[in-house]
Structure 1
Amino acid sequence: MIGAMTAEPSGLIYMVAGESASAAIASNIFNALLKYNATLDLEGDLAESWTISDDQKTITFKLKPNLTWADGHPLTSADVLFTWKLVIDEKTRSPYASDYQLVKKAETPDAFTFKVSYDQAYAPALDSWSGLQILPAHLLKGQDIHTTAFARKPVGSNYYQLDVWKNGENIQLSRNTKSVLGPAQIDKLITRIIPDNSAQFLELMADNIDTMGLDPIKYSRIIPSRPELQNNLNLYKELGNSYTYMGFNLKHKPFDDIRVRKAINYAIDKQEIIDGVYLGLGINIASPYKPGTRWSNAALSPYPYDAQKAKALLREAGFIDTNGDGILERDGKPFAFEIITNQNKEREKSAVLIQRRLKDIGIDVKIRAIEWASFISRFIKTGDFDVVVLGWGLGLDPDQYSIWHSSQQAPGQFNFIGYNNPTIDKLLEQGRTELDPDKRMNIYHEFAKVLLEDCPIVYLSAGYGLTAMHKRIQGIVDPIPPAGVGYDSHKWYIPEPLRRNEISAQ
């Protein structure tokens, strides 16, 4: 099966890379202790079972018997302990460390048992252990996790193992015969690196790739109008657990002024973006949670489009057009800034619509689209930007400590916009330790309310995942379960007459 992605992973140790491209490949290679099933309930992955102490502070995991790495070396609780220590090590600088730093004690009573204890009950604990991809201690001990060759030549335990990584071209995985979960149905997974979405689509039409994520125009207009494409492709649509946003660098003036942030929020017509860029395949949101879930505060409303209100707020903040050129000034400086985003057509188009609306109220905006690896290393990790247009892909637990807590601002961590609000910090801390689901829901509803009022970002839309899959790929569950179209891709298969020759992989 041949797929495509626009961004090449920076490495395949996901807990260090912290990016979706890395996650997409690494999830085929590594396992966690737990995983979510089709209906989004937790079940064992490497763990056969787990027990929680009466005081909710200790979890004991029992591993499945006879686990091995792809190189044949036994996979034991020592690997789990090693991975936990690695992630919490300050030198690792993992953006996910905060979840695991709450463990006050981790121990391995025997090769099949891993036990963790917390100072106080931690609500997202089980969810966190579904996110920690376990790494092999025997191959990584003593290595610098940022420079190790393992990041490009990993050895895992899941359905697939890495065969070949051709830089800038493709990543080839083959079935891992020692997979801890049994064999996958498809022999090889090839992911081609094709940065341009239109070029990907040409390859899909030419039958050189089997699957890709679609933009709304291809999903809604192009494929339905082409009978030959309809004959070859199945289309899938699902509301994802993600959203697109415009984020301010709160350490740069004038974005430290809430009036300026709110003015910009009022000046942007979100429905225009949803209709114009996403052809209506998006939802205007007021909370950083998937619409329709219990964590999404239905009482909140998005900032409406109101150019007059935006202008009034900017006047209040001291911005006036002193020389009549249409651009506002304060302290003799024109109000001008740059939006940066990665090379993603929808984000670039959204930025153009934002640029036009902000020009209407006297703000001069430039746009720069940057290749993903440079975007992360040169701008995001260094904080060298004014405004970003990006997306957050979220976990199933509502805890967003790693994104919004003021302690999470070091290079490589997720609070790269520099957000610091003691009220938000306190709510996030409370949410992590509240085990009552209803009380916890109320905490996150209040968190979303304060965040909306403080406006560190502008929510642009929650979008749909749109996927095209060649009909030769069979075994896909339809209708799509809550876990998504790809949750059981190891069960997909290609009937022998429809299989590709190796030469098809470009």
Structure 2
Amino acid sequence: MFRPYIKFKTKRFIRRLKKLPAKSWVDSLENIDKTVVKRWKKFRKIRRFATGWLVLCTALIAASLVQISQSRQTSLKQIPTQGGVYREAVVGKVNNLNPLFALDGANADIAGIVFDSLLVYDAAGNLSPSLATKIIANEAADEFTLQLRDDVVWHDGEQFDSSDVRFTVDLLQNKQVGSIFSDTWEGVIVETPDPNSVIFKLPNSFAPFPHLLRQLILPEHKLHAVDPASIRSSEFSINPVGTGAYEVAKIDGDSGLITLTRNENYYRGEPYIRTIEIELFEDSATAQNAFDKGLVDGFGKQDNISSTATDTAATPTKLAAGSYLFFNTKNDILKTKAVRQALTQLVDKSQIYTAQTFQAPLINNPFLPQQLAVDNPSHVQLPHNAEKGRQQLDAAGFVRSDEGLRIKDGQVLSLTILAADTLENRLIVEGLQKSWQPEGIDVYAEFVSVADFQSRSVASKNYQVVLATIQNGLDLDNFVFWHSSQAGLGGLNFSRLENSIIDSALEAGRTRTDRNLRIAKYEAFLEQWRDLSPAVALHQSLYDYQQTDRIKGYSWDVLSRTADRFTNIHEWYVRTESISQVE
């Protein structure tokens, strides 16, 4: 229809033109010359001006289009969506996932994903609800009442309730089970008035008790029929059932790969990542190499092996642990307070924390900043002052001989530092030697394997000076590290310090639940600690947690233990989707 219509119109137009007189043709040509040709000549004269306007209009139109496009993009936002796999390299072996025995390494990492506790630490190191919704303490700090969530189920579908909490504590207290926490829970009575309430009654006041409620909870219905003496070796230890964000799907001993699948009924929200894979490695170096080559998505370490991967998000996270140089106050040389004060003031940390070592936060008192920010100069250790240090050694009778050594009554001022054989410790000892040896002090190092260090340091206390990292925790309590009751063999008072004022302060701090009152009690402790100089506070430990850029959701400032990095794993994600910001 279209083509014939056009053809018809064209023929009719031609016929009309033929009928026009000659004059009309001339007039038409004159009009064309006037309206087109001459105007074109004029346009040539102003073509630059016209071209400029054309370019400007084009630019304006293009800018408008770009703005419209950007406006459309900014109206969209990326949100996490479900799916994907996360694989992390972990050093160690998996042989027991029961929280009663999974204390460190791969066992603790996986147990922390599979099981939950009543309370957890948040990213800033504060206690927050998990299986419990709230906690109430009495004024005497010897009774704690918790309300539990009523929407929690075990991986097998059974309902979680207060009986599971009571059962877990019973196992912790049972000597036949063999948990190292049995002494910690000794004397604690657990009452369960109803399925959603638990009351803990303590034999003595103990303000730090809520921090113990980070103990992972076990299912009574799975273990009540198991002989307590056989729980460690039961099937449950390798095929656990928890309430956590993920459950164990497969343990492949040959490949060293543990596969966990998400708990779709998780009470804190269904996890985004579909599958978590933990790949086991024999040592840190091979695990780091796997990460650098992109074979795994994440790897965390506490040593100085540097990553070579470029598409990573390395997150140095503070650990609730500090490195200290402890003086054995029972040693013949170090029992003199003036000598310990002198040695403390002679330590030049700039000789230790050079570019060769990791840049860990330095500390100067028994507390980590996350426990207590100490800003009173009289509550921190004696600062570096080489001149005062020399004067105090002279006053203590250790004067320079002709050979340059400091000697008192024929005894050379000689110190041997015991330390676990790690790169970090070797660098620290080297820095201490640079601080002390120029002052006429003989300094030797005794490095032992990490496996043997515990028996040499804690069990025997057979050392002059020991370089050790202690797990300070995130509560204010420092009892186990400085109270005289812990100075004997097997205790964690590495300095073997005995002081009645410090003992009283530490004991009083355990009887108050109000934080400000507890801090007030610790002032006397800090003053005595500075004066007695039982140790040199060095640095807070760091956990170098590396993840590829595609992994999102990890944002921890401080970890009580490395396994706590998985506390919010249900919020991690690898996939996103776009949605409009205006609904």
TM-score, normalised relative to structure 2: 0.68
SS in 1 for 2:418: strand
Match of residue 455 from structure 1:
533
Query: Is contact 2:140–2:512 with CA below 8 Å preserved after alignment?
Result: no
Q: Which has the higher helix share?
A: 2
Paired amino acid for 2:112: S
Identical aligned residues as a percent: 22
1:388 to 2:476 alignment: no
Match of residue 126 from structure 1:
210
Superposed displacement of residue 201, structure 1 = 3.6
CA separation of 1:26/1:297 partners in 2, compared to 1, >3 Å: closer, same or farther?
farther
Superposed displacement of residue 459, structure 1 = 0.9
Match of residue 198 from structure 2:
114
SS in 2 for 1:155: coil
Once the two structures are overlaid, the 10-residue window that deviates more, 261-270 or 71-80, is: 71-80
Query: Is contact 1:295–1:444 with CA below 8 Å preserved after alignment?
Result: no
Give the Cα–Cα distance (whole angstroms) in 1 for the partners of residues 168 and 464 of structure 2: 35
Give the Cα–Cα distance (whole angstroms) in 2 for the partners of residues 239 and 246 of structure 1: 19
Give the Cα–Cα distance (whole angstroms) in 2 for the partners of residues 217 and 119 of structure 1: 44
SS in 2 for 1:452: helix
Give the Cα–Cα distance (whole angstroms) in 2 for the partners of residues 312 and 149 of structure 1: 63
Query: Is contact 1:18–1:95 with CA below 8 Å preserved after alignment?
Result: no
2:299 pairs, out of 212, 215, 222, with: 212
1:46 to 2:131 alignment: yes
2:361 pairs, out of 273, 279, 283, with: 283
Paired amino acid for 1:135: L
Match of residue 493 from structure 1:
573
Paired amino acid for 1:489: I
Unaligned runs of 5+ in 1: 224-228, 497-506
Counterparts of 1:323-342 in structure 2, within 5 Å, are 324=403, 326=405, 335-342=414-421
1:175 to 2:261 alignment: yes
Superposed displacement of residue 191, structure 1 = 4.7
Aligned-pair RMSD on alpha carbons?
A: 4.3
Match of residue 280 from structure 2:
192
Query: Is contact 2:145–2:200 with CA below 8 Å preserved after alignment?
Result: yes
Counterparts of 1:366-381 in structure 2, within 5 Å, are 366-371=445-450, 373-377=451-455, 379-381=457-459
Paired amino acid for 1:368: F
Query: Is contact 2:101–2:232 with CA below 8 Å preserved after alignment?
Result: no
Give the Cα–Cα distance (whole angstroms) in 1 for the partners of residues 524 and 333 of structure 2: 27
Paired amino acid for 2:208: P
Number of corresponding residues: 479
Deviations 1:257-293 (A, max 9, x none): 43343333223212332334445x3333222333376
Query: Is contact 1:285–1:301 with CA below 8 Å preserved after alignment?
Result: no
Match of residue 113 from structure 2:
28
2:314 pairs, out of 222, 235, 255, with: 235
Counterparts of 1:59-70 in structure 2, within 5 Å, are 59-65=144-150, 67-70=152-155
Paired amino acid for 2:147: K
Give the Cα–Cα distance (whole angstroms) in 2 for the partners of residues 260 and 13 of structure 1: 48
1:432 pairs, out of 495, 510, 520, with: 510
SS in 2 for 1:107: strand
Match of residue 159 from structure 1:
245
Superposed displacement of residue 160, structure 1 = 3.6
Superposed displacement of residue 470, structure 1 = 0.4
Superposed displacement of residue 335, structure 1 = 2.3
Match of residue 245 from structure 1:
324
Paired amino acid for 1:352: E
Deviations 1:13-56 (A, max 9, x none): 66667657765443223321112334555433222444445776
Once the two structures are overlaid, the 10-residue window that deviates more, 414-423 or 203-212, is: 414-423
SS in 1 for 2:163: helix
Query: Is contact 1:286–1:452 with CA below 8 Å preserved after alignment?
Result: no
Query: Is contact 2:415–2:464 with CA below 8 Å preserved after alignment?
Result: no
Give the Cα–Cα distance (whole angstroms) in 1 for the partners of residues 522 and 252 of structure 2: 42
Deviations 1:127-147 (A, max 9, x none): 332x22223455386434996
Unaligned runs of 5+ in 2: 1-85, 577-583
